[in-house]
Amino acid sequence: MDEQKRLFLAVVLSIAVLLGYQFFFAAAPQPDNQNPGTPSNTMDSSESDSAKVSDFTPRTEPEPAPAARPELRDFRTITLSTPYYTIAVNEHKAAVTSLTLKDYRETNDEGSPAKQLVPRELADITGGIFSVYTAQGSIRGLADAVFSADAESTDISLNEGKKNIAFSWTNPDGITVKKVLTFEADSYLIHCNILVQNGSNMPISDSMVICIPGHFNDEVKHRSRFAYEGPVAYIDNKFTTIKPKDIEDKDTYSGTVAWAGYTSRYFLTAVMPDTPEAASLKLSFAHEVVTNRLVSQMPRIDPAKQNQQSFTLYMGPKSHKILSQYDNLLKKSVNFGFFDILAKPLLIAMNFIHDIIPNYGVAIIVLTIFIKLIFWPLGTKSYKSMNEMKKVQPLMTQIREKYKNDKQRMNQEIMALYKTYKVNPASGCLPLLVQMPIFFALYRMLYMAIELRHAPFVGWIRDLSGPDRLFHFNFAIPFMDAPYGIPVLTLLMGASFLLQQKMTPTAGDPMQAKMMMLMPIFMTVLFINFPAGLVLYMFVNNIISMGQQYYTQKISA
């Protein structure tokens, strides 16, 4: 089998693995070291309660009679705007019911609204993001509480500095819960202090639960085959994904939790303890909603005592550049799976190039050239092997014709020919195999990097994260996903595959050689819905490879 066949077979194999490897290489959830029936861990007994518990003045007025579920009183929605986002926090559950990102849009169309991280239907079903309750129900009514915010206005603008908004609620037993949110004008991070004051006559021994729901319908399920979407966490120093379909079999995970949340292809919603702590995740999946719950153990709170737990909330882009600015482990959420160790440096390199040349299309081209230079010696070795195969091709043709009725003798003579002329058909295969991990890593990086989302290149390519389309048609095209149009860059890439195929000697079986000529068509159809950034990489890579092949064959002639 000649070297070009190996090239195309390797590429086809790589694409096949790209479409299916998530089913085999997806990060497995961490083992649950506790009884599955126990939703939370007990904190290390060496931790001093006095560090978190202090005296306070309990309520002295008579407690109202408990009710099964009181009617909700009127509540407000507090809206706060920073240079990065606009957030809405409802007094009902003190939950986030809306957050729009000012630097990101829903689509690449002109006039598209700001990106919304809390879909309306999700807020309607769950009540919002970051609602709280206790795992064992020790604080009655907390799950459906209507807090009172200390904000005088429901429309707040924060252009510099910080702003605290405290949400307070007291239940019929005299237990007061305060949820204090601290917003910063120059950060996506939101600090959250949860203060529990025990004004009852009974101690509280429970865990605080913070909810991060996500909308998981059939469309999301389809997208997650290529870039994971769903519950995530950083447990025991490992990036952990939990597929919604697996929640029915196992819904509790325990360990040292640095953060937990819900991720889409480009954005992350997460809650993070101030320091990684022994905690649990409790998950559920129903009515197209997946809820990831961080269960954090509280120390025992005796009557007339109080406890405070501190967390950091994040709702924003999965940008390595942005998350690396923060002194925490949220940057671990930018994870490219099995090939993360290669993809992350490629992302950093692409961003570095973009800082010099502010066009991600140009950055991909420069990065491709840089990668080709690194593997230039291996490529040269491969093309020299092809050239040697070309020299013995006439003799191979004679052998195939002479022994066409005796396959065993034909193979023996061909092997003897290789030995006589010191030609090793496999010598060109190794360089290709060495480069395969780079292709895998680039695919993952270019598909998932938020930097390419809605990033323009030239002309009709206005979004490197989506397929390239010149013109938009109102009719469907076979093998093409919407939007429908002319995939110019993909067709150019297919043409480059065809030219490269014609440059390559066909020393293998004639029937296989004819079949391999169909490979450019197959690759064009395969790439027709791939992100334009990846197609651009393949096209530039092919052009450089053809130049290197031509040069190597010329000097070796």
Kindly state whether residue 511 falls inside one of the protein's structural domains: yes
pLDDT at residue number 150 = 96
End-to-end CA distance of the chain: 22
Would you place residue 18 in the very low, low, confident or very high pLDDT band (cuts 50, 70, 90)? very low
Kindly state whether residue 40 falls inside one of the protein's structural domains: no
Q: 306 with 395, same domain? A: no
Q: Which of 306, 335, 364 is the last residue of a domain?
A: 335
Q: Is the pLDDT of residue 16 over 60?
A: no
Q: 179 with 248, same domain? A: yes
Q: Is the pLDDT of residue 333 over 80?
A: yes
Q: 290 with 352, same domain? A: no
Q: 406 with 278, same domain? A: no
pTM of the complete model beyond 0.85: no
CATH number at residue 324: 2.70.98.90
Q: 375 with 315, same domain? A: no
Q: 259 with 408, same domain? A: no
Q: 214 near 230, Cβ under 8 Å?
A: yes
Domain with 136, as residue range(s), is 76-335
pLDDT in tens, 20-69: 433 333 333 333 333 333 333 333 333 333 334 444 444 433 333 333 44
Residues 6+ apart with CB under 8 A from 548: 372, 376, 379, 380, 383
Tally of structural domains, the chain: 2
Residues 6+ apart with CB under 8 A from 491: 524
Report DSSP letters for 196-255, one per residue: EEE-SSS-B--EEEEEEEEE--HHHHHHTTTS--EEEEEETTEEEE--GGGTTT--EEEE
Q: For 179-194, what is the mean pLDDT?
A: 98
pLDDT at residue number 1 = 38
Q: Which of 314, 335, 356 is the last residue of a domain?
A: 335
Q: Which of 288, 306, 335 is the last residue of a domain?
A: 335
Q: 547 with 453, same domain? A: yes
Average pLDDT, the chain: 84
Least confident of 215-219, 356-360, 383-387: 383-387
Which 8-state DSSP code applies to residue 334?
-
pLDDT at residue number 516 = 67
Q: For 248-268, what is the mean pLDDT?
A: 96
Would you place residue 397 in the very low, low, confident or very high pLDDT band (cuts 50, 70, 90)? confident
Report the C-alpha gap between 171 and 122 in whole angstroms: 27
Range list of H helices, 504-556: 510-516, 519-527, 532-556
pLDDT at residue number 430 = 63
Q: 222 near 236, Cβ under 8 Å?
A: no
Q: 247 with 136, same domain? A: yes
Report the C-alpha gap between 371 and 369 in whole angstroms: 5
pLDDT at residue number 513 = 63
Q: 191 with 145, same domain? A: yes
Q: 328 with 464, same domain? A: no
Report the C-alpha gap between 42 and 29 in whole angstroms: 21
pLDDT at residue number 263 = 96
Q: Output the CA–CA distances (angstroms, integers) from residue 8 to 237, 350, 378, 393, 510, in the order listed.
A: 39, 26, 17, 20, 16
Q: For 272-288, what is the mean pLDDT?
A: 95
Q: 95 with 146, same domain? A: yes
Q: 408 with 260, same domain? A: no
Q: 379 near 429, Cβ under 8 Å?
A: no
pLDDT in tens, 490-528: 999 999 988 887 777 655 556 666 666 778 888 899 899
Higher pLDDT, 156 or 503: 156
